[in-house]
Amino acid sequence: MYWVAGGFIFRRVGSPFHSLDPRVKLLISAELFVVSLTAYSVTQLAVVMGVMLCIAAVAKILKRVGRTLVFSAGFSVFIFVINLFARQSLLTSAIYSVRFLAIIISTSLFFITTSPDELEQVMKSAHLPRDVVFAFTTAVRFIPVLMLDAIQIVDAQKSRGLEVEKGNLIKRVRKMVPVLIPLVVNSVIRSGELAEAMESRAYGAVPRPTSLNRYSSSKRDKLVAAGSLILFIITVYIYVRFPTPL
Nearest distance in Å: CB 191, another protein: 9
Binding mask 5-34 for another protein (x = CB under 8 A): -------x----------------------
Does 190 bind another protein (CB under 8 A)? Our answer is yes
The candidate with the shortest Cα–Cα distance to 92, out of 240, 241, 235, 245, is 245
Q: How far apart are CA 78 and CA 84, in angstroms?
A: 10
Residues 6+ apart with CB under 8 A from 73: 101
Residue from 212, 216, 240, 241 binding another protein (CB under 8 A): 212
Using CB under 8 A as the binding rule, the residues of this chain from 96 to 155 that contact another protein are 115-117, 134, 137-138, 140-141, 144-145, 148
Using the rule CB under 8 A, give the single segment among 62-70, 85-93, 98-106, 193-201 that binds another protein.
193-201
Nearer to another protein, 3 or 85 (CB): 3
CA 53 and chain centroid, separation: 16
Residue 194 is a binding residue for another protein (CB under 8 A): yes
Q: Using a CB cutoff of 8 Å and minimum separation of 24, what contacts does 216-220 make?
A: 216/21, 217/21, 217/23, 217/24, 218/21, 220/20
Q: In 3D, which of 243, 231, 245 has the Cα closest to residue 43?
A: 245
Residues of this chain that bind another protein (CB under 8 A): 12, 115-117, 134, 137-138, 140-141, 144-145, 148, 190, 193-206, 208-214
